[in-house]
Chains A and B, each alone.
Chain A
Amino acid sequence: MRTPNRALVLCALALGACKQPSTDQAQQPSGGSTAATAPSGSEILIGATLPLTGSEARIGGFYKEGYDLAFEEANQNGGVSVGGKKMQVRLTLLDDTSTQATAASLADRLINSDKVQFLLGTYSSHLVEAQSVVAEQNHVPYVNGGGGAKEIYKRGFKYLFGLLAPVQLLSTALMEWIDSQQQAGKVPKPAKIAVLWENTAHGKDFRSGVSDFGDKHKDGYQVAVDESFELNGKDFSALLGKVKSAGVDLFLADAHLPDYITMQRQYVTLGLCHKVQSYGARGSEKQAAEALGAEHVRYILSAVWWNAQLGTQGITKKFVDAFKAKQKRDPEWYQAVAYETARALFLGIEKAATLDRDKVRDALAALDVESILPGGKLQFKQEDGQQAIYPFVVQQNQPDGSSPIVWPKESAKSSGSPNPGCK
């Protein structure tokens, strides 16, 4: 029998040829002139990773759009002012493939090999959680717009700054809208709740937001199903069967986009229908309507960190207009938060008036600036673990395909309603 050595060598070569682009080709310097890695005197080097492939690839692409716009804008204005001197900013962006280990090792590479001065964060809580450890160990300011789980900010990290308000506030905002509907007699009292949450820090925060609200309004709500599920799951039929048997009024799940699409498809085929249905921050995505059919995403509620409908004036309008001019479509919360994340770092550098990492960290910690985020203000308070706190906006898919803001009242474009087609 022949030896397999030749075949194995061929295979290894083929593997090497295919594998290489997943890291190196994803290196996309943005807002600068060349792909050189050594910093020049007139440039600020900023590193970041995003999930440009893997399960979160689509959202990683959205974040990239936000980063790109912020860098382009800054450079078009002459750069970021450092002690009176304008310096161009350059982003070295790598693909973390939606995996924790890669996100952490690429952060290490950016700091120690590519010699970036500051880091912007990746997307999704579990990746930020892993990556922020590397930034903290190297004393590099790490500003992220992708980690909303409160747990990440409870570790006492000094160099970690987060622009996503805690996920717990997300479910609280949903419950506040539901409560307003209950008071108007449109939702049964008491209402039985099914709370399904992905088994991550994000999901746990979502769950505690719902259960805390339920505990404070014991006469109005009763959690009948409280189940966690595996991230990137495939078959939710048994879980949904449990929800069906419980006969609940409110279906509140916390899921990332792929799980939302998979679960909603199985939800529909099982003939489930609830007066109030939510997948946390997911619901209004065009991809979901395309994958499921517009008729199957009607009346789904989602609570998000930002909505283009907020962009009627000031810097928010300026951002919306700039994004639309570049991408020919409205921005979603992903791009807005990414844009604001990069802008926050630039503002921190300007306030510090130096590229010294510790001084930039201190400037970020003391930041108090106008923001495009709901509430109009951005701060990283120490008592909140340097995680920005601001209200969520609740939106609801309508039969005409729109998703107007329904909560809070002062920003609402519509009052919204429970699904009239469900008993």
Chain B
Amino acid sequence: MGQVTDLAVSAILLAGLYATMAYGLGLIYGVLRIVNLNHGGMIMAGAYAGWWLHAQFGIDPYLSLIPVSALAFVVGVVIYRLLVRRLPRGAAGGVQSLLLLFGVWLVLRNAAYLLFSGNDQTIRTSYSTRAVSLAGAFLSVNRLAVFALALLVLLALHLLLTRTYLGKAIRAVAQNPDSCTLVGVPVERIYALTFGLGTALAALAGLLAATLFSFNPDFGATELLKSFVVVVLGGLGSVAGTAVAALILAAVEVFAILALPSYLTAAVGFVLLVLVLVVRPGGLFGQRVLG
């Protein structure tokens, strides 16, 4: 395969990871109108949870996805019940929610330093460096698995939001919480479940990223920034838009190497973010409600 094809494959596989990282952030913003800065902390926590289960009990990181996500869901609900629900909603609570959730992230990060030290960790399995050959190109088994899981999560999220009562309630609350209260939708419970779901998605993304990269307690900061770019590009609150935006960001970063030094490629995504905010503040796919 030529270089362009190689780069295209890299971009598609990377997009899977970016999309998984961004789903949770987009979902929470779409419903609660809160920018969850603790998203980075939960990405880091997910990575450590998977690593710990693998190091202590030999559990395969992909098998850990369900228990880690479930635990993160509970953590998310608890954070919501204890902290987030006390905040004012909308623009009035913007700064408070940013500060509060940034604080929670710092607590998580320092806890990780205390528990695991600052050493870089990696999850090494029998297939960590395995690759499959396709038309002369080598594709990492882990990257393929992460991409497949990203698609699966997108599908599951889409089905949840469009085919279930809970999903419809989430979308309704995102549109108009006051009307939902009038017709008997338990808005507070929907908020808690949404926050839990977004947190679970962040931990899941962290665990998937940990199968590809080394990590330490600072892990999650760059991932949070990339998630921001994806969510803003895709249009805040749009799930399908998030997936397409992830592909755009990954493609821009990967193909930038043809024209720019490698160390500048990460910055290209942020240039794109600024351009979109100036030209189309609602995102490339418009300000859509979830679904």
Contacts and interface: CB of A to CB of B under 8 A. Distances in A.
B262 A230 contact: yes
A235 B254 CA distance: 9
Given A4-B88, A8-B99, A242-B257, A18 B142 contact: no
B103 A14 contact: yes
Interface in A229-256: 229-230, 233-239, 241-242, 244-245
A27 interface: no
B261 A244 contact: no
Interface string A285-325: 00000111100100000000000000000000000000000
B268 to A, nearest CB: 11
Given A53-B113, A238-B10, A269 B122 contact: no
Interface stretch (A54-62, A114-122, A354-362): A54-62
A228 B2 contact: no
Contacts of A244: 3, 6
Given A8-B99, A8-B100, A57-B117, A238 B265 contact: yes
A271 B138 contact: yes
B175 interface: no
Given A53-B113, A57-B117, A228 B93 contact: no
A51 B118 CA distance: 9
A1 B92 CA distance: 11
A19 B262 contact: no
Interface stretch (B61-69, B127-135, B190-198, B237-245): B127-135
B206 to A, nearest CB: 13
Interface in A9-61: 11-12, 14-15, 18-19, 21-22, 51-55, 57-58
A241 B107 contact: no
Contact of B257 (A15, A238, A268): A238
Interface stretch (B23-31, B178-186, B213-221): B213-221
A368 interface: no
Contacts of A245: 2-3, 6
B110 A19 contact: yes
A261 B120 contact: yes
Summarize A's interface: helix, strand, loop or mixed.
Answer: helix
A154 to B, nearest CB: 22
Given A55-B218, A245-B3, A291 B122 contact: yes
B164 interface: no
A53 B120 CA distance: 10
A164 B103 CA distance: 40
Nearest to B216: A55
A108 interface: no
Contacts of A291: 122, 124, 214
B263 A228 contact: yes
Contacts of B140: 266, 269-270
Contacts of B100: 4, 7-8, 11
A257 interface: yes
B264 to A, nearest CB: 8
A415 interface: no
Interface in B98-157: 99-100, 103-104, 106-107, 110-111, 113-114, 117-120, 122, 124, 128-131, 133, 138, 140-143
B263 A199 contact: yes
Given A227-B262, A269-B140, 6 more contacts: A6-B86, A199-B263, A228-B261, A228-B262, A233-B266, A293-B129
15 contacts: A2-B86, A3-B86, A6-B86, A7-B100, A11-B103, A57-B117, A57-B119, A227-B262, A229-B262, A230-B262, A230-B263, A238-B255, A241-B3, A271-B131, A291-B214
Interface of B: 2-3, 6-7, 10, 14, 82-83, 86-89, 93, 96, 99-100, 103-104, 106-107, 110-111, 113-114, 117-120, 122, 124, 128-131, 133, 138, 140-143, 213-214, 216-218, 222, 253-255, 257, 261-263, 265-266
